Amino acid sequence: MKKTVIFIVLLIICALATQFSVWWFFQKNSKSVLLNLQSDEYINVLDKNFSSDFFKFDSFIDIELKNNNLKEIFNANEFIKIRLNLSGKQDVFSAFSTGYITVLNSPYIDFVRSIFGDEKFINLNTYFKFNGDSVVDTYILPAKFKYNDLSIDISSAKLSAIISKDMIKDVNATLDYAKFSIDDMQANITNLSYIIKPKIPINIMNIDKTALTDANTTTKISKIDIVSNFVNLYFDDISSFWQVSSQDDTAWFVNDLNIKNIDILGVKFKNFNFLSNAQNIDKISYQNIIYGLKKSSYYDINNEILHIMRKNPRFNIEKFSFENTNGDKFTLDCSFWIDSSSNIANFDEIEERIKFAGNLELTNSISSFLPLFPFLAMYEDKLVEAGILIKTPNSYKAKFKISDDNKDIIFNDVNILSNFL
């Protein structure tokens, strides 16, 4: 009996200790978020409240976003004010919260109501894992917007993030559909998913500086269709992988875009692939361009772009390929760089110094590959005769590069395009 009583007492002590740890975790994280908000030069904390006991908590933070661009767009007398409200419960076995984000002042609140039907346009659900991570599910209400001939209809969206203290470890966003129309043109996007997996967790308050550095991003879309009186475009099963890496003061990018089926005005293609990369990009200038999007006045990025160009970047299309319905295939690879880039003074000089070289290959004839343009058949033999294309038993090939004076394109090392034209 005595041992049983001791065991029960020990259980109670463990439960109280665990409960205290959960309560302390809420207190610590709420203070951390508040300190981060207060340290941001573009956010003004107007009011705050956090009350908590061992079993529940209620909190809100009112902030003012000091964004002049938004203020000018709405012709407002003051910056937009937003409230983040969270309430929930915590016990030994679970800890979760619900909340919402709402706009507090006019004219912004009127605009939000007209689009989402409610000023509380974002709802939040949060729960905590035993390892200390929190999972934040953000739900954005369906949106409808109409202005003159422009109409936008977007389904509810969900954004889930795994957060450790004030660091984002993973982000996943989904959208069922988005519909756009202007005049006689309509565009529909179906089943969009967007995933960010940073190699190193991203600080929430510095997301504009670090979100696109050292991260893998995957985008998937089931279908895009664009229809008008003049153009009909359909894209099925789209996926894009974007990788950003950096070391010291240099960054590089890799993009892999794949589309299973494409229909352009009734001409169908399949297995579209665009694999590209950018190398030797100045990391600081790149981050400054991203950071400029957050500043409250329009940011002059010209100097940063020029600085990137002076560091001798290289842009490569490793593979650009697609097939027609008969299995005929077009393949291209190409590289771009800037000659003597270190002393570029202005943007006009970039055009004068840009260099490129690459290869292309087509299986079967040009005319059979592009039935939309049958008149190309009349030039096919002339391109071969001029040495622009080299005919092999199974394909047409060409190697090309820009001339040293940047005034012409040279094919297969000796044949100049202007001579053919």
Average pLDDT, rounded, for the chain: 79
Q: How many CB atoms lie within 10 A of CB 384?
A: 13
- Share above pLDDT 70 across residues of the chain, in percent, rounded to a whole number: 77
Say which residues have a Cβ less than 8 Å from residue 226's Cβ, sequence separation at least 6: 185, 186, 187, 232, 233, 234
pLDDT tens across 48-68, in order? 877 766 567 777 888 888 878
Q: Where are the domains of the chain?
A: 1-141
First vs last C-alpha separation in the chain? 103
Q: At what angle do helices 302-310 and 283-292 cross, to 10 degrees?
A: 160
Residue with tokens 């590959």: 369
Give per-residue pLDDT as tens, 359-372.
999 887 777 666 65
Position 329 pLDDT exceeds 70: yes
User: Of 144 and 127, which is predicted with more confidence?
Assistant: 144
- The SS3 assignment for 373 reads coil
Nearest partner of 339 among 276, 403, 399, judged by Cα: 403
Let me know: does 36 contact 61? Beta carbons within 8 Å: no
Model-level pTM?
0.78
Which of these, 232, 311, 322, 212, lies nearest to 273 by C-alpha position?
322
Chain segment 141-166, per-residue pLDDT in tens: 898 888 888 898 999 888 888 877 66
DSSP of 290-345? HHHTTSSS----HHHHHHHHHT--EEEEEEEEEEETT--EEEEEEEEEETTGGG--
* pLDDT bracket for residue 96 (50, 70, 90): low
Please give the distance of CA 419 from its chain centroid, rounded to a whole number. 44
Banded pLDDT at 332 (limits 50, 70, 90): very high
Beta bridge partners of 377: none
Inform me whether the pLDDT recorded for 321 exceeds 60: yes
Q: What is the mean pLDDT of residues 259-274?
A: 90
pLDDT in tens, 75-88: 888 988 988 887 76
Between residues 12 and 308, the one the model is more confident about: 308
Paired tokens of 78: 């003051």
